[in-house]
Amino acid sequence: MRFKTLKSIEQGQYSKLLRQFETQFIYPLGDETFNICHGLSSGQYYDFFNSLGQAEFFVLEEKDAILGMGCAVLREVSHGGKCQRFWYLCDFKLHRSARGKGFFVRLLVKKLLSYYLKSNKILAVNMSPPDNNWLTKKIESAFFFLRINTRAIYFYEWSVDEYHRVWLSNQALLSRYALYTNVGSKDIVINGEIRPIYHLVDKNHASINLLNHRPVKLDALSSNPKAMVMLSTSDESVRIELKSNRVSSNYTAH
């Protein structure tokens, strides 16, 4: 049993199965829980990832049952007047029965050379807390010959009403960001209720790298009271400034 790469002609038959598989992965959110829903509008799991760049999808299955999934996206972004290419590894999930058996590491070993020939930079986010991140430790051990930089990522999530209050006390900081959304292609489900996500993105970054997306005005959120506003940052100065105004992150990842 091993991960296989989905061919384009296979993706249609797996879309519904992947969307069903991801519903079992539930994460804490304060006193509530949430899971992620991809492809709500079109029914196609792949839409969000394809919008990021050249996406490659993986499935781990046994006797027609899906036990794992994942995606690698070759992204191109502009920074400092230069175009940079990097791999973004995302949405890797394993059923409990398949964990601890080295499936992810073997997949990375298999793909490493072909990925390296296209870009020597790989980015991944793991939602486990930094002080108990077994996957990061395993990757650092398996790929000891590579330079791996890990840093904490702070996630902030607010309801519409909560965000309005945060905005009032942090206008100087938050005015540097604009709101963007992936509604319909990637949504959050809190306690079984679908809640669209609006992401705070640095305006300079967005002006270069989100040319196909339009920012959402803050006033528009008032008409969508079930929406969630999210900010993710690895910038310590942002975390410190928010903390000075008594705004703490909901959780920390790597």
List all residues 6 or more positions away from 122 whose beta carbon is below 8 Å from its beta carbon.
Answer: 86, 87, 88, 89, 115
| pLDDT tens sequence across 223-246 | 788 888 999 999 999 999 999 999
131: amino acid identity, one letter? D
Provide mean pLDDT across the span 194-206.
Answer: 90
What per-residue confidence (pLDDT) applies to 38? 95
Per-residue pLDDT band at 175 (split at 50, 70, 90): very high
Cα distances from 207 to residues 16, 118, 210, in angstroms, run 34, 25, 6
CB 178 within 8 A of CB 203: yes
Domains with residue ranges and CATH for the chain: 3-142 (3.40.630.30), 153-253 (no CATH)
Provide mean pLDDT across the span 113-128.
Answer: 83
- State the chain's mean pLDDT as an integer: 87
User: Given CA atoms 207, 213, 219, 221 in this order, what sign does their dihedral have?
Assistant: negative
Q: What is the pTM for the complete model shown?
A: 0.84
Cα distances from 171 to residues 105, 217, 220, 224, in angstroms, run 43, 15, 18, 21
| pLDDT tens sequence across 59-79 | 999 988 999 999 999 998 877
Provide mean pLDDT across the span 6-21.
Answer: 95
What per-residue confidence (pLDDT) applies to 142? 63
